[in-house]
Copies of this chain bind each other. A is one copy, B any other.
Amino acid sequence: MTLIHPDRLFPADPGTRAIARQLYDSIAGLPIVSPHGHTQASWFARNQPFPNPAQLFVQPDHYVFRMLYSQGVSLADLEIGVAEMKDPRRVWQIFADHYYLFRGTPTRMWLDYAFHELFGLSERLSSDNADFYYDTIAEKLEAPEFLPRALYERFGLEVLATTDSPLDSLSDHRAIRDSGWKARILPTFRPDPVVDPDFAGFRENIAKLGELTGEDSATWKGYLRALERSRARFKELGCTATDHGHPTARTAALSPQAAAELFAAVLRGDADAHQKELFRAQMLTEMARMSVNDGLVMQIHPGSSRNHNRKIYERYGRDVGADIPTSTEYVEALKPLLDLYGNEAGFRVILFTLDESAYSRELAPLAGHYPCLRLGPPWWFHDSPEGMQRFREMATETAGFYNTVGFNDDTRAFLSIPARHDVARRMDCGFLAKLVVEHRLGEDEAFAVARDLTYNLVRDAYRL
């Protein structure tokens, strides 16, 4: 018995599977380019061992604990939000007792991959072997080959992008660079804390932005200059992209005066919900303008209703697994931005969605026309075998392969990165194999496309 099978995720039909396997074999060894995610630069700056199994696999992974919570396990019992766990072995046991809940989910595949490939475990996690798992993993985590930098190299990472606030000093990124270690760990400029009036501490964040940049961020012009300086600071450390997590994809094209007045209202704190939304919309357009100038690739990640569970949010704060996707409109929402910059040479926006109905209806047609637009890979809840399948089926015929940008692992769970890329590579090869066996694509072309999806398109799209 083994946790992962060499033919996993390939189509059942033997002829198609054979082609998928060949395609996969041709790209399985390519380096991992990870242009978007949520690992911490500090891990690589400090290069200390990861903590115990529970703190590594359960606590930071909202895919894991949201499922446990949905089935009645309390977050307190899982020690969520606790800096140092009191009883990680007990948390691990609870996790193991409920491992059956993940049947049929990508989480299960990612975990099994890490258990097998990194820790040499070969029996499925269960109540009975929870202790054996715990001990095996805990022991290995102490070994030098499990330190963050060693894992970066073992994973075959070529680039790893983090996601960072303009208020971050980026000292960890600087430390990595100054350490002489040959790795590309790059920051990504994510200005939500200073452009979203609903972000906790928004006004204080703006003030801090002014301090950090030496600009008068209390005025509209000073605020924009402060953002431009921040972007420049990120670029110095290798940043090639920005990221924007707005509730909607709405953009706006206000006059400078109207924008300045709106900024003043927002900063005074007397803007209503409509004005806050308009401000976010205007800021996407301002970010686009800056990208036209400085070449940073924009990523737009809209459509999540954040912190939906009021009690959980009050008790645990942001990012605790209670973010729920909503219906997301792109065609009208993006028009103001596209009217201004949609045909600009060198400008690039990567669009993401949590609303799969937009793939074939809005996103593929938009990306199949506007030179600045590319489609990001399936995101978050849709970063899964079936989600990837639907993405290729719904986007390819209108946008083609070449308006997509390869895979994002988008994860906080560093150890899951190889597993996630492996799933994406296998699903793409399965999709291509189907095209080949149905004579919709030449076999020689399928090999070229597999390589492009895995490697070339990512580097090109993110300017890496």
Contacts and interface: CB of A to CB of B under 8 A. Distances in A.
A385 B439 CA distance: 12
A335 B438 CA distance: 42
Nearest to A444: B124
Nearest to A403: B70
Contact of A72 (B13, B345, B355, B357): B345
A153 interface: no
A356 B361 contact: yes
Given A361-B357, A381-B360, A331 B342 contact: no
A380 B356 CA distance: 19
Interface string A325-346: 1110101100100110011010
A386 B434 CA distance: 12
Contacts of A390: 393
Interface string A384-410: 111100100110111111110000000
Contacts of A355: 357, 361
A367 to B, nearest CB: 7
Contact of A354 (B105, B329, B361): B361
Contact of A325 (B362, B367, B438): B362
A324 interface: yes
B401 A371 contact: no
A386 B389 CA distance: 12
Report copies per complex.
3
A248 to B, nearest CB: 13
Contact of A369 (B14, B70, B435): B70
A338 B310 CA distance: 8
A364 B386 contact: no
A46 interface: no
Contact of A305 (B8, B324, B332, B437): B332
A45 interface: no
B370 A70 contact: yes
Contacts of A394: 386
A453 to B, nearest CB: 11
A12 interface: yes
Contacts of A309: 338, 342-343, 369-370
B70 A373 contact: yes
Contacts of A268: none
A35 interface: no
Contacts of A103: 400-402, 441, 445, 449
A440 B69 contact: no
A448 B100 CA distance: 10
A182 interface: no
Given A371-B69, A373-B70, A397-B385, A9 B365 contact: no
Given A12-B16, A69-B369, A367-B70, A109 B440 contact: yes
A326 B331 contact: yes
Interface string A63-80: 000110111100000000
30 contacts: A11-B438, A12-B437, A67-B368, A69-B369, A70-B368, A72-B345, A72-B371, A100-B402, A101-B400, A101-B402, A102-B400, A103-B400, A103-B441, A103-B449, A104-B400, A104-B435, A104-B449, A105-B397, A105-B398, A311-B339, A324-B369, A325-B331, A326-B329, A355-B357, A356-B357, A360-B381, A364-B381, A385-B440, A386-B397, A390-B393
Given A13-B13, A355-B357, 14 more contacts: A9-B438, A12-B438, A70-B369, A70-B403, A71-B371, A71-B403, A72-B371, A103-B441, A103-B449, A308-B338, A311-B342, A324-B369, A327-B329, A360-B382
Interface of A: 4-5, 7-16, 66-67, 69-72, 100-106, 109, 124, 305, 308-312, 321-327, 329, 331-332, 335, 338-339, 342-343, 345, 354-357, 360-362, 364-371, 373, 381-382, 384-387, 390, 393-394, 396-403, 434-435, 437-442, 445, 448-449
